[in-house]
Amino acid sequence: MNNFFLICFQVIINTMAQLLLKKGVALVDFSQPLCKLFWMVISNIYIFGGVFIFVISLLLWLYLLSQFDLSFLYPFGSLSYVLAAIGGWFFFAESISLYRGGGILLILVGVFLIAKS
């Protein structure tokens, strides 16, 4: 049960990192010269936070890889797609079409079946 919590936590923080990066790049003007663009990216608190959380996510992922078969663990990462779609809808007013909703449902069913194996 504790390892299942760690798997879910890793998926959640991975998705949080993606959402922070999305927020951060929305504040960056990519038409700037490379030197200025570089400074805008490294000084952006959202991008910095996203990268920091990614590092934590990576360390946790490495630990989880040492505990589980890759064929069991890796599909849980696809739950990030589900959470990212929900986060995009909630935080960025992105739409979830019928096809995306169907894809999310298929991912959830697939992860459920793998979790039962």
Give pLDDT tens digits for 54-69: 999 999 999 999 999 9
DSSP 13: H
Tell me which residue range forms the domain holding 97: 2-116
| 60: nearest Cα among 7, 115, 21 | 7
What is the count of structural domains for the chain? 1
pLDDT in tens, 40-94: 999 999 999 999 999 999 999 999 999 999 988 988 899 999 999 999 999 999 9
97, with CB counted inside 10 A (0-12, 13-18, 19+), is exposed
- CB < 8 Å & 24+ apart, contacts of 90-97: 91/19, 91/23, 92/22, 92/23, 92/26
| 53: nearest Cα among 23, 10, 91 | 10
Contact in structure between 44 and 24 (CB atoms under 8 Å): yes
Q: Is the pTM of this model over 0.85?
A: yes
* Helix (H/G/I), strand (E/B), else coil: 72: helix
